[in-house]
């Protein structure tokens, strides 16, 4: 298992190892020119997007759990759907749409970039906040109300603080997404450190210099998340077991109208408008006859996407479960292995892609496979690289699920004579199934959207929807990008539906 | 750190019933792993009976009809993977001798020069190629050959501009302040143009020119198509863009009020970049690769260039009809082979000048 973790960490290690041989010239050149601007832009973007997603996600979650209004349950589910829209799709749709009223200069700003990212990332915070509010139950809120706090103050003084661990978890996810994004920022002319990695690499042709910058990015991301964990440690947030489930308060007509306007407004911006524009472009593409790429039509791309996403998801879950189970028995060493296995998530996609290519090629040169077959460009190679990147999602999802199994249950099973494998198979995994199913859905969403690794490592004949979108958008042919974008959103919706179903089942188990 | 939070509350009950959904998951996992094991055959070279050639191409638009025409003419199957030039190059470097690629195609000269410098390309000896492609448009060691020319020229609004700039430096004139559209420095087209300026004008003058562009507060748009649309919409009056983007736009909207002003016609000629191809050093099908390369440089010239409204590298081959309306011009052929070597200098110059 250490071998597995090591294997997964190798591409990251390959990149990181270049830091041992630093190139001071690159750093001084960068510092003189772009680095200060890149750091400022990255920090600004990060703070804005994290703040925005926390406010939007938490606010919406509170409205949907604490208050009663028409179609509350439906809207509660719909608010998760922006997860199905890839960031780079929302990016080009909004860039094109905003260029109308704001003009091309006004549209290409860091603020509009941040707004686009908030719209696609808030569901992460929303999901965690909503789950947290539901389990808080009504006690704290009702107590606040009896003491005379109005709805707004109740939210800020009671609900929000109690939800902090969930918000921190959501915020950590959003942080990772912002720090590693290279697609959306490029569209809006925002130059972040991740974009800087690509600039240095493509501009100077020096992979080592780019790798150093990437390592700095990873270290920063890991440090931020560690700080977030450190701040959470030692705080006690539990509510009593006898909590009544959250009872939604009725609202007056004005309140209902306001809440509906707010929630539907967010949905319109995050999903409605992009889908409408994409459908219009898609019709135009059909009229122009541009319904397929060089590689094949919609079905070809769709099946490629599903095959790749499914294989990689299954691998991440299987591996994540195995590591999580074994990690629980190993204490500090276990936690270290868990962290190391997760590093790929903190690196921008193209960086992981190149690290994976180097690793796989090294194996090829060592002659691992018989008959002159090679790993680079094989399905196994692609799945390996995707696992390196996304194992963290599977691993931590499963870990949090396993954490919820009380030690007493496991102890009872052991007392009854079950061996560790039997305990894992019959007790721990079933108890964590909600988390496992939810992690599966999240992985499917992430993997079907994935672009840089798939682009570099896909086998011949495997052209995914994301590759189709890339081919169109790299030439600014938005109409041609529309059909595959819609197909991706459709798959994403199905995955979001499964995610919600899994979470609903989990929530039902409480009552 | 970002798992599913404790939705069970403080006290949970683990379900004692067997979990059907998880049983299904187990079978699914086993089945999937079996499928993976089956796919574990790895990346093979394709069937042994038919002749085939494998291509890595950074130029991914309009390429399939070209390959289909080649297969129809010769019976050689073409397998290709499209991606971005630098990433494909990294992959070639990593794959080394194991690479399945027989032919590499790039969308610009700097990238193919970097590939040659990394030892990825083989020198080929072919009279057909040397006769078809002018000397300035192939590498000195015959490792790569241009297949089409793509010019980066001054575009201007026919509605608002009566005296368009005739040199790249003129874009820095104060009268264009706030009315200039440029592509960001991340793009190879911009980098290559600056590289050619360094060659023709020297670093100091080139830097002064770029400084003057930056002083005009250009609007940076990462898409030549959008740049041309911005001119048409009135957001800028002059810009730099590749000739074929205008041809594409005119094919869709013949009334687009944008025209080309051929720069440096009294000097070194308009900046020209090239789509290229070269046989890989580790090719397993070198003969087929050479045949494809020769075909692209001779019978396939029109098919290849016309698909994207580019000018054929072989100057004896007539360009697409639409391009005739752009008129005659002189191109800066001499710079093409130096673009790769000067690219890092161009990148640094752009950074220091504060060009976004």
Is the CB of A198 inside 8 Å of chain B's CB atoms? yes
Q: How far apart are CA B260 and CA B238, in angstroms?
A: 10
Cβ <8 Å between B96 and A361:
yes
Q: What pLDDT digit, counting tens, does each position of B31-82 carry?
A: 555 444 444 444 444 445 689 999 999 988 778 889 999 999 999 999 988 8
Cβ <8 Å between B7 and A434:
yes
Q: Is the pLDDT of residue A290 over 80?
A: no
Amino acid B259: pLDDT: 92
Range list of H helices, A366-428: 379-403, 407-415, 420-423
Amino acid B10: pLDDT: 31
pLDDT band for B203, please (50, 70, 90 cuts): very high
Is the CB of A162 inside 8 Å of chain B's CB atoms? no
Q: Are residues B346 and B213 in the same domain?
A: yes
Amino acid A291: pLDDT: 62
Any domain includes B24: no
Mean pLDDT value across residues A403-425:
78
Cβ <8 Å between B14 and A134:
no
Amino acid B206: pLDDT: 95
**Nearest CA-CA distance, residue B259 and chain A, Å:** 20
The total domain count for chain B is 2
Is the CB of A430 inside 8 Å of chain B's CB atoms? yes
**Nearest CA-CA distance, residue A253 and chain B, Å:** 32
> Which A positions 240-269 lie with beta carbon below 8 A of chain B?
240-241, 243
Any domain includes B20: no
Classify domain A34-287 at the CATH superfamily level. MetI-like (1.10.3720.10)
pLDDT band for A434, please (50, 70, 90 cuts): confident
Residue A312 or residue A189, greater confidence = A312
CB-CB neighbors (< 8 A) of A132 in chain B: 5
Q: Are residues B341 and B231 in the same domain?
A: yes
Any domain includes B19: no
Cβ <8 Å between A241 and B22:
no
Q: How far apart are CA A347 and CA A385, in angstroms?
A: 12
Q: Enter the tokens of residue A15.
A: 């990149």
Mean pLDDT value across residues A65-76:
88
Lowest mean pLDDT among A288-297, B255-264, B278-287: A288-297
Phi, psi dihedral angles at B281 (to 5 degrees): -65, -30
Indicate if A34-287 has the same CATH topology as A1-11+290-511. yes
Amino acid B13: pLDDT: 38
Is the CB of B47 inside 8 Å of chain A's CB atoms? no
Residue of A96, A210, A89 whose CA lies nearest to A470:
A89
Q: Is the pLDDT of residue A360 over 80?
A: yes
pTM of the model: 0.84
Give me the residue from A105, A131, A409 closest to B14, CB to CB: A409
Q: Enter the tokens of residue B26.
A: 């187990």
Amino acid A233: pLDDT: 60
Amino acid A378: pLDDT: 86
Amino acid B175: pLDDT: 92
- To which residue do tokens 């929302």 refer? A90
For chain A, give the percent of residues with pLDDT over 70: 90
Q: Are residues B339 and B203 in the same domain?
A: yes
Q: How far apart are CA B192 and CA B112, in angstroms?
A: 12
pLDDT band for B6, please (50, 70, 90 cuts): very low
Is the CB of B322 inside 8 Å of chain A's CB atoms? no
Any domain includes B39: no
For chain B, give the percent of residues with pLDDT over 70: 86
Is the CB of A131 inside 8 Å of chain B's CB atoms? yes
Q: Structural domain boundaries of chain A? A: 1-11+290-511, 34-287
**Nearest CA-CA distance, residue B127 and chain A, Å:** 32
Cβ <8 Å between A172 and B2:
yes
pLDDT band for A109, please (50, 70, 90 cuts): confident
Amino acid A312: pLDDT: 94
At a CB cut-off of 8 Å and minimum separation 6, what does A24 contact?
Answer: none
Cβ <8 Å between A361 and B61:
no
Q: What b/e readout covers A465-475, taking b as 16+ CB neighbours within 10 angstroms?
A: bbbbbbbbbeb
Mean pLDDT value across residues A190-217:
81
Lowest mean pLDDT among A45-59, A177-191, B112-126: A177-191
Q: Are residues B138 and B284 in the same domain?
A: yes
Mean pLDDT value across residues A184-204:
84
Any domain includes B21: no
> Which A positions 37-96 lie with beta carbon below 8 A of chain B?
none
| Domain, as residue range, for B127 | 52-149+273-320
CA distances from A256 to A180, A252, A263, A264, B95 (A): 39, 6, 11, 12, 61
Mean pLDDT value across residues B17-42:
46
Residue of A361, A476, A397 whose CA lies nearest to A127:
A397
Amino acid B307: pLDDT: 85
Q: Are residues B164 and B247 in the same domain?
A: yes
Lowest mean pLDDT among A157-166, A177-186, B82-91, B103-112: A157-166
Mean pLDDT value across residues B98-118:
91
Lowest mean pLDDT among A41-45, A325-329, B318-322: A325-329
pLDDT band for A377, please (50, 70, 90 cuts): confident
Residue A56 or residue A217, greater confidence = A56
Amino acid A448: pLDDT: 92
Is the CB of A433 inside 8 Å of chain B's CB atoms? yes
Amino acid B45: pLDDT: 46
Cβ <8 Å between A29 and B351:
yes
Q: Are residues B233 and B347 in the same domain?
A: yes
Any domain includes B110: yes
Q: Are residues B92 and B106 in the same domain?
A: yes
Residue A178 or residue B18, greater confidence = A178
Is the CB of B39 inside 8 Å of chain A's CB atoms? yes
**Nearest CA-CA distance, residue B125 and chain A, Å:** 29
Q: Which fold has domain A1-11+290-511?
A: MetI-like fold (1.10.3720)
How many Cβ atoms from other residues are within 10 Å of residue A101's Cβ? 8
Q: How far apart are CA A340 and CA A381, in angstroms?
A: 20
Q: What pLDDT digit, counting tens, does each position of B262-297 carry?
A: 999 998 999 999 999 999 999 999 999 999 999 999
ipTM beyond cut 0.85: no
Q: What is the mean pLDDT of chain A?
A: 82
C-alpha triplet B291, B67, B132: angle, nearest 5°: 45
Mean pLDDT value across residues A388-406:
82
> Which A positions 373-412 lie with beta carbon below 8 A of chain B?
373-381, 383, 393, 396-401, 403-406, 409
Mean pLDDT value across residues B143-152:
94
Q: Are A68 and A251 in contact (CB under 8 A)?
A: yes
Amino acid B15: pLDDT: 39
Q: Are residues B202 and B346 in the same domain?
A: yes
Cβ <8 Å between A509 and B15:
yes
Q: A294-298, B203-207, B252-256, B337-341: which has the highest mean pLDDT?
A: B203-207
CB-CB neighbors (< 8 A) of A32 in chain B: 352
DSSP string, A197-245: HHHHHHHH--HHHHHHHHHHHHHHHHHHHHHHHHHHTT------TTPPP
Q: How far apart are CA A321 and CA A330, in angstroms?
A: 15
Any domain includes B36: no
CA distances from A357 to A109, A376, A377 (A): 34, 7, 9
Q: Are residues B338 and B236 in the same domain?
A: yes
Q: What do you get for the CA distance between the two ends of chain A, in Å?
A: 38
Q: Are residues B212 and B64 in the same domain?
A: no
Cβ <8 Å between B87 and A204:
no
Q: What pLDDT digit, counting tens, does each position of A125-150 carry?
A: 998 888 888 777 677 778 888 888 88
Interface test with B, best of A242, A294, A453 (most B CBs within 10 A): A294
Any domain includes B200: yes
**Nearest CA-CA distance, residue B186 and chain A, Å:** 6
Q: What is the CA radius of gyration of chain B?
A: 25
Lowest mean pLDDT among A81-85, A211-215, A320-324, B149-153: A211-215
Q: Are residues B104 and B163 in the same domain?
A: no
Give me the residue from A195, A362, A507 closest to B7, CB to CB: A507
**Nearest CA-CA distance, residue B279 and chain A, Å:** 19
Is the CB of B119 inside 8 Å of chain A's CB atoms? no
Q: What is the CATH number of the domain that holds B209?
A: 3.40.190.10
Q: In sequence order, what are the beta bridge partners of B54?
A: B79
Amino acid B237: pLDDT: 94
Q: Is the pLDDT of residue A47 over 90?
A: yes
């Amino acid at each position: 298992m250490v071998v597995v973790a090591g294997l997964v960490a190798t591409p990251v290690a390959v990149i990181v190892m270049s830091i041992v041989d630093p190139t001071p010239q690159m750093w001084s050149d960068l510092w003189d020119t772009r680095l200060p601007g890149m750091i400022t832009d990255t920090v600004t973007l990060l703070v804005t997007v994290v703040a925005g997603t926390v406010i939007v996600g938490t606010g919406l979650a509170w409205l949907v759990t604490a208050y009663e209004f028409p179609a509350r349950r439906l809207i509660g589910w719909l608010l998760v759907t922006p997860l199905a829209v890839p960031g780079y799709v929302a990016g080009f749709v909004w860039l094109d749409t905003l260029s109308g009223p704001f003009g091309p200069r006004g549209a290409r700003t860091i603020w509009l970039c941040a707004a686009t990212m908030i719209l696609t990332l808030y569901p992460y915070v929303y999901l965690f906040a909503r789950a947290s509010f539901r389990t808080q139950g009504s006690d704290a809120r009702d107590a606040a109300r009896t003491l005379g706090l109005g709805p707004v103050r109740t939210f800020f003084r009671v609900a929000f603080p109690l939800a902090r661990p969930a918000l921190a978890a959501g915020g950590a996810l959003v942080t990772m997404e912002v720090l590693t994004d290279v697609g959306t920022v490029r569209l809006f002319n925002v130059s972040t450190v991740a974009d800087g990695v690509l600039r240095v690499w493509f501009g100077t042709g020096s992979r080592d210099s780019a790798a150093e910058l990437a390592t700095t990015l990873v270290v920063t991301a890991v440090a931020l998340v560690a700080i977030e964990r450190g701040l959470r440690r030692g705080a006690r947030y539990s509510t009593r077991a006898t909590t009544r489930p959250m009872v939604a308060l009725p609202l007056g007509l004005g309140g209902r109208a306001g809440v509906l306007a707010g929630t539907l407004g967010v949905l319109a911006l995050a999903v409605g408008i992009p889908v409408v524009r994409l459908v219009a472009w898609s019709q135009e593409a059909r009229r122009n006859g541009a319904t397929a790429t060089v590689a094949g039509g919609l079905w070809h791309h769709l099946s490629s996407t599903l095959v790749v996403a499914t294989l990689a998801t299954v691998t991440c879950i299987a591996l994540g479960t195995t590591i999580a189970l074994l990690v629980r028995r190993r204490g500090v060493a276990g936690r270290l292995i868990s962290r190391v296995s997760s590093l790929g998530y903190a690196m921008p996609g193209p960086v992981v892609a190149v690290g994976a290519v180097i690793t796989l090629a090294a194996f090829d040169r060592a002659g691992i496979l018989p008959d002159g077959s090679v790993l680079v460009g094989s399905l196994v190679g692609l799945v390996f690289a995707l696992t390196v990147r996304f194992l963290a999602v599977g691993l931590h999802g499963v870990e949090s699920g396993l954490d919820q199994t009380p030690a007493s249950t496991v102890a009872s099973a052991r007392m009854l004579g079950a061996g560790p494998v039997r305990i894992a198979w019959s007790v721990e995994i079933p108890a964590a199934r909600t988390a496992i199913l939810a992690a599966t859905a999240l992985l499917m969403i992430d993997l079907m959207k994935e672009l840089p690794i798939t682009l570099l490592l896909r086998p011949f004949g495997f052209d995914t929807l994301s590759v189709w979108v890339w081919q169109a958008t790299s030439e600014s042919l938005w109409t041609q990008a529309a059909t595959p974008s819609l197909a991706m959103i459709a798959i994403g919706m199905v995955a979001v539906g499964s995610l919600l179903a899994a979470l609903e089942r989990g929530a039902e188990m409480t009552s | 750190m970002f798992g599913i939070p404790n939705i069970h509350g403080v006290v949970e009950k683990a379900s004692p019933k067997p979990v059907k959904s998880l049983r299904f998951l187990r079978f699914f996992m086993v089945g999937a792993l079996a499928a993976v094991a089956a796919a574990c055959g790895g990346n093979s070279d394709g069937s042994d009976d038919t002749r085939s050639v494998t291509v890595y191409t950074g130029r991914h638009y309009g390429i399939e009809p070209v390959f289909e025409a080649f297969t129809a003419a010769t019976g050689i199957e073409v397998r290709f993977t499209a991606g971005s030039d630098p990433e494909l190059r990294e992959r070639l470097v990593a794959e080394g001798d194991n690479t399945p690629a027989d032919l590499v195609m790039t969308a610009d000269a700097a990238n193919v020069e970097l590939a040659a410098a990394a030892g990825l390309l083989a020198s080929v000896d072919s009279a057909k190629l040397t006769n078809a492609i002018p000397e300035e448009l192939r590498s000195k060691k015959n490792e790569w050959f241009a297949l089409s020319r793509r010019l980066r020229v001054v575009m201007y609004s026919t509605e608002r501009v009566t005296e368009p700039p005739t040199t790249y430096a003129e874009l820095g004139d104060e009268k264009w302040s706030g009315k200039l559209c440029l592509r960001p420095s991340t793009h190879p087209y911009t980098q290559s143009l600056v590289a050619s300026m360094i060659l023709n004008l020297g670093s100091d003058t080139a830097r002064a020119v770029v400084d003057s562009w930056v002083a005009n507060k250009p609007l940076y748009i990462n898409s030549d198509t959008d740049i041309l649309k911005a001119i048409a919409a009135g957001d800028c009056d002059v810009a730099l863009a590749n000739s074929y983007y205008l041809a594409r736009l005119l094919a869709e909207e013949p009334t687009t009020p944008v025209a080309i002003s051929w720069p440096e016609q009294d000097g070194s000629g308009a900046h020209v970049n090239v789509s290229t191809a070269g046989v890989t050093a580790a090719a397993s099908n070198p003969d087929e690769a050479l045949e494809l390369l020769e075909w692209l440089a001779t019978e396939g010239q029109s098919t290849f260039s016309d698909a994207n409204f580019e000018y054929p590298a072989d100057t004896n081959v007539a360009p697409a009809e639409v391009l005739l309306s752009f008129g005659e011009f002189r191109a800066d052929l001499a710079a093409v082979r130096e673009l790769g070597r000067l690219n890092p200098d161009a990148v640094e110059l752009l950074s220091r000048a504060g060009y976004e």
